[in-house]
Amino acid sequence: MRALPLLIIAGVATLLLAIASLFIGVSDVTLAGVFSGGPEGRPMQVLLISRVPRTLSLLLAGSSMAIAGLVMQIVVRNRFVEPGTVGTTESALLGFLLVTLLAPGWPIMAKMMVAALFALAGTFLFLRVIRSVPPRDVLLVPLIGIMLSGIIGAVTSFFAYRFGLLPSLLAWELGDFSGVLRGRYELLWIGLVCAVAAYWAADRFTVAGMGEDFTTNLGLNYNKTMTLGLIIVSISSAVVLVSVGIIPFLGLVVPNVISLLVGDNMRRTVPWVAVSGAAFVVACDILGRVIRYPYEIPIGVVVGVIGSVIFLYLLLRTRRSAA
């Protein structure tokens, strides 16, 4: 019962961050300007065309990728994995690059589905690899994933270099919300659907995270549950990649921090992870906009720096606990 008021406070804090995000930027947008200029005034147009879509995309991308990281950790049964460290994101990027080369005229929804299929295939490949090399160390699993990600990333870079798409590849690899406008972020609502699906299946994922034998003994189909989890992770990763690029460490640090505070029951942690992921991304985006105002630092850089520091802390904490 005590967790609900804290979750409400966290939601209010996230809402305040989102409101602050609406009025931060190079264009001068204030409440007085919005009301005095009317619906056709420049402040209102900037707010509706740029600021509101950007803030919504921050909330949607942050919550969906944080939940995707949580689901990935349950599926793999390892706290140090996320879509960006097991080859899921890199596979989605490879699929997006190939469909851009082979079918540039396809609609963005079709390209997103191809990226999701590649992400799903890359994740299955990772699971196959770790099953054939049974890991004894908790850090060996993410190490294998990082190696696999590097291989897939190298293949992607080769094709991008060969066909002159390196600038596009770099843009996709660096998460950035500065180009988000009305009509260019709506795919991210699919990530919200995936987040709702993860909450709906939270109890199944919690049971499946205890192992195949335990899950089967309780009468739950282990393979179907794992496949559902991988589909959620793949679609969420592809949607965010196609819309705003890669956001590193988000799906890694947020679920781990929430796990330390709330526990491992997924039914309880999903709302916390969603709210915290959204708040974290909005806060990093605001920081990136004000730290070198009027210039802007891409959110991929800000989240990468802060997330890597938190990740190192979690690693050292795990090592001290093991010792």
Instruction: List, for residues 283-308, the tens digit of each pLDDT value.
Output: 999 999 988 888 888 898 999 899 88
pLDDT for res 9? 87
Question: Amino acid identity of 109?
Answer: M
Between 228 and 314, the more confident residue is: 228
Distance (Å, rounded) from C-alpha 261 to C-alpha 7? Answer: 12
Model confidence at 200, pLDDT cuts 50, 70, 90, reads: very high
2-33 pLDDT per residue, tens: 566 778 888 899 999 999 998 888 777 777 77
Distance (Å, rounded) from C-alpha 247 to C-alpha 307? Answer: 10
301-319: string of b/e by CB count within 10 Å (b at 16+)? ebbbebbeebbeebeeeee
When pLDDT is averaged across residues 243-271 and rounded to a whole number, the result is 87
Distance (Å, rounded) from C-alpha 308 to C-alpha 290? Answer: 21
Between 71 and 80, the more confident residue is: 71
- Taking alpha carbons only, the member of 190, 267, 238 closest to residue 92 is 238
Structural class in CATH, domain 3-322: mainly alpha
Give, for 31, the enclosing helix (H) or strand (E): helix 31-37
Within 13 A of 27's CA, how many CA atoms are on the CB side? 17
Mean pLDDT over the full length of the chain: 86
DSSP 63-115: HHHHHHHHHHHHHHT-TT--GGGTTHHHHHHHHHHHHHHH-TTS-HHHHHHHH
Contacts of residue 142, defined as CB under 8 A and 6 or more positions apart, other chains included, come to: 78, 80, 81, 85, 86
pLDDT for res 84? 86
Give me the residue label for tokens 């082979």: 102
- Taking alpha carbons only, the member of 238, 225, 237 closest to residue 198 is 225
137, pLDDT greater than 70: no
319, pLDDT greater than 70: no
- Assigned token pair, 70: 């949580």
Distance (Å, rounded) from C-alpha 152 to C-alpha 90? Answer: 6
- Taking alpha carbons only, the member of 124, 83, 75 closest to residue 226 is 75
- Assigned token pair, 52: 């509101």
Task: Parse the chain into domains and list their residue ranges.
Answer: 3-322
Between CA 60 and CA 215, with CA 69 as vertex, the angle to 5 degrees is: 125
1, pLDDT greater than 70: no
Give me the residue label for tokens 């709302």: 271
pLDDT for res 135? 61
When pLDDT is averaged across residues 251-259 and rounded to a whole number, the result is 90
Q: Determine the length of the chain.
A: 323
Model confidence at 318, pLDDT cuts 50, 70, 90, reads: low
257, pLDDT greater than 80: yes
